[in-house]
A and B are shown apart, each in its own frame.
Chain A
Amino acid sequence: MAANSAILDSASDPARFRAAVREWLGEHFPYPGASADFARASEEEFVALQRWWHAERRAVGLVLPALPRNLGGGGLDIVSQLILAEEAARAGTPSLELAMYMVSLTHVPATLLEWGTPEQQRRYLPGLVDGDIWCQGFSEPNAGSDLASLRMRAVRRGDVYVVNGQKIWSSYSRYARYCLLLVRTDPEAPKRRGISYLILDMLSDGVEVRPIRQATGGAEFSEIFMADVEIPLANLIGEENQGWTVAQSTLAAERGLLAFERTERQCVHVEAYLRQAVVEGAAWTRSEHFRAELVDIVAEMQATRMMIRKLLRSSAEESAANMLPAVIKLSSSMNSQRYADFLLRIGGLSGQRLGHSVICDGHVPMYDYLSSFGDTISAGSNEIMRNLIAERRLGLPRDSH
């Protein structure tokens, strides 16, 4: 199905592009089911919603806005991508990049474009546009913050690797067709030099996926168990035993855009919540304590948004030197946790009632608060970020944790 490219064609003029995006979003949002927040709908509703919105984006060529057009992407520059993310946040669309399609739309293209063979790119990139779901098999029960100590073993036999072991914290892997998999191919080498990077077809024999129920009650993650799973040698990304280097591209994939979209969404929510509280004369707006706290939270949020804008303008070398991505990861995750914590305390006893005690725009304070640990723990825990900042930005000694 060929996409209607009218919106993409307007991208040479930012004002026209914004108007076109806004008009298109206006046809779909506010979404009739939006009162029950997307992320808290039932499992089936959530999956159906994500698939529906993916299809709508595909129809206008906006599944992969940044990918070159000859590879099925939108070919948008950074300015247009920011406009798209801003308008999506404003309209309250489901945030595809943050949920079921995150790995497919962010990590897979970044990894394949840099390290994939032309054959791998031809084989897998078009499927991303068509809606293939990918997951990530990096963490293991004994390799979390110390990812490089991973032990899932891959042994070469003929033209396949035979893989055994266990992965954990793999988001949306129950729905995934493929997995970006890190395995150990040389157990004798120093830990970072014996890792290889494979593409796993989740339908292979010997793959078992078991959901993990998380603190919010949902089951977004799963464990992946693998027993004598055969993966063709052709599925190796990069050289054998160079998987750690390839994985750095995957981990660096988001370039601040995800943080951008997330803080823009939070900002839209904060403004709506504040306006509602002021209009309704909510009791807390008369408490000096809460007023002061909210002002500080919002000022921090604005500061984080300034930092993200700076990151988006800076080169890879600059980010490596000032560690701005780690600073932003820390400050944005702590700020959302602080905001959720604030709303939870404002909610008092009613915020403790299980279920959908929605305060504004589908937000449930306890759910948001519990979810915020997803940000403070995942993608390198905040403690790992502190190590990185101390060692690489401030220049403190690198060893002896």
Chain B
Amino acid sequence: MDLASVLRATAAELGWLSLALPEKVDGLAMGVDGIAMLAEEFGASLTPGPLIPTLCVAQIVAEFAEDEQAASMLPPLIDGTATAAIEVDEGRAVLWGDPASAQLALLRGDGGGPRLVRLDPSVAPPGHALWDSTREMFDRSCGLETVLKLPAAAIDRAQVILDIAIAADSIGLARAALDQTIDYLNQREQFGRKIGAFQALKHRAADALVALELARHAQFHAVAATTADAPAAAAWCAASKAMATDMAARVTQDCLQLHGGIGFTWEYDSHLYVKRARLNQALGGDNVEKRSAAFGNLEKVLDTGVSLLAMVP
């Protein structure tokens, strides 16, 4: 078994794959909060495999399918024997997931509308090689048997879950990259002292920490708004995804630079963080467009006269 499958089996054993699901399907009902906690640790440990698309699709099935359908679709996703994929490049049927184990895929729109389709892993196309070697994508444009038509609300919900999970993954990987960099700055000596004593490097490390804390608290805010079903929740999730992924791209870039030559080598981990951060940044489209679209959501809320910025208690 490859590492991703071993990790998936362990995650299933620990109950992680059902922790966010509602109680009616024997989940722990931790919702997006639970997904965020898991995804942060996936990012921090550079966990390979399609855990985020699998958690996201399982959540949509549990929340939108009839009980009977859910009862047949969920078990393989919860016990780790199968995974799910999700369309990430709209209209082009590019799926984020593992072609060798994905049995279900969430498609967003196009001709067939939002729907869940069944995949047959035995005739799977090969995955695209990605710079981020911890995740996979693949094309799936034909032979898709629809198993469940979904309302538009399901796509909105999936987007919220993905935004939260990708933001959390980015926060986790930036945290780990920064921790590793701080260790290095406290150990490497040049000019007769630890290089972490130089203010030019200290300030970059402090700026990275502040950016990380901001992204983390923007994420807490987005999760709290989502859990409370606050009026602009989807906009806060989009803004949080954009903030966290831009932050992680910048922080991992600084972390590689702060290591000097060793950070530029294949053997060292710095580039793994950089590559995962960049895939997260690209997932879900351009961040400027994403924020601009979120502004549209805020405009609609303002029109209703509801307080936009009130804090969820």
Contacts and interface: CB of A to CB of B under 8 A. Distances in A.
Interface of A: 267, 270-271, 274-275, 278, 285, 288-289, 291-296, 298-307, 309-310, 327, 330-331, 383, 385-387, 389-391, 393-397, 399-401
A120 B312 CA distance: 43
Contact of A299 (B193, B194, B236): B236
Given A271-B307, A294-B295, A295-B291, A302 B186 contact: no
B197 A399 contact: yes
Contacts of A303: 213-218, 220-221, 243
14 contacts: A275-B302, A278-B303, A294-B295, A295-B239, A298-B309, A300-B214, A327-B209, A385-B206, A386-B207, A393-B209, A395-B182, A396-B186, A400-B197, A400-B198
B239 A298 contact: yes
Given A278-B302, A296-B239, A306-B221, A267 B309 contact: yes
B292 A292 contact: yes
A82 to B, nearest CB: 11
Interface in B188-225: 193-194, 196-199, 201-203, 205-207, 209-210, 213-218, 220-221
A383 B292 contact: no
Contact of B292 (A288, A298, A305, A395): A288
Contacts of B207: 386
Given A296-B242, A327-B213, A401-B199, A395 B186 contact: yes
Interface in B239-276: 239-240, 242-243
Contact of B302 (A274, A383, A391): A274
A347 to B, nearest CB: 19
A394 B197 contact: no
B308 A397 contact: no
A283 B243 CA distance: 25
Contacts of B298: 274, 295, 298
Given A274-B298, A302-B221, A396-B182, A291 B291 contact: yes
Interface in B271-313: 287-292, 294-296, 298-299, 302-303, 307-309, 311
B85 interface: no
B185 interface: yes
A325 B169 CA distance: 26
Contacts of A294: 295
A295 B292 contact: yes
B209 A270 contact: no
Given A296-B239, A383-B203, A396 B185 contact: yes
B36 interface: no
Contacts of A397: 186, 193-194, 196-197
Contacts of B137: none
A271 B298 CA distance: 10
Majority-rule SS of B interface residues: helix
B243 A300 contact: yes
Nearest to B311: A305
B309 A271 contact: yes
A267 B240 CA distance: 18
A296 B205 contact: no
Nearest to B181: A394
Nearest to A383: B203
A396 B203 CA distance: 11
Most interface-central of A299, A303, A304, A399 (chain B CB within 10 A): A299
Nearest to A292: B291
Contact of A390 (B193, B202, B217, B302): B202
B282 to A, nearest CB: 17
A307 B217 contact: yes
A47 to B, nearest CB: 32
Contact of B193 (A293, A305, A400): A400
A386 B193 CA distance: 20
Q: Which 8 A-B pairs have the closest CB atoms?
A: A292-B291, A390-B202, A291-B295, A303-B217, A299-B239, A386-B206, A396-B196, A303-B218
B62 interface: no
A307 B311 CA distance: 12
B218 A299 contact: yes
Contacts of B309: 267, 270-271, 298, 301-302
Contact of B311 (A289, A292, A309): A309
Given A274-B298, A296-B291, A331 B242 contact: no
B202 A396 contact: yes
Contacts of A298: 239, 298, 309
A267 to B, nearest CB: 5
B201 to A, nearest CB: 8
Contacts of B307: 271
A196 B308 CA distance: 49
Contacts of A275: 302
Contacts of A288: 288-289, 292
Given A292-B295, A305-B311, A396-B186, 13 more contacts: A271-B309, A274-B298, A274-B302, A295-B239, A303-B221, A304-B217, A306-B218, A309-B311, A330-B206, A331-B214, A397-B197, A400-B197, A400-B199
Contacts of B209: 327, 389, 393-394
A383 B240 CA distance: 27
Contacts of A400: 193, 197-199
Contact of B205 (A271, A385, A396): A396
B235 interface: yes
A294 B297 CA distance: 13
A165 B207 CA distance: 37
Given A302-B221, A397-B193, A390 B198 contact: no
Contacts of B299: 278, 285
Contacts of B308: 271, 274
Contacts of B202: 386-387, 390-391, 396
A331 B215 CA distance: 11
Nearest to A310: B217
A143 B281 CA distance: 44
A267 B218 CA distance: 15
B178 to A, nearest CB: 8
Contacts of B216: 303
B65 to A, nearest CB: 33
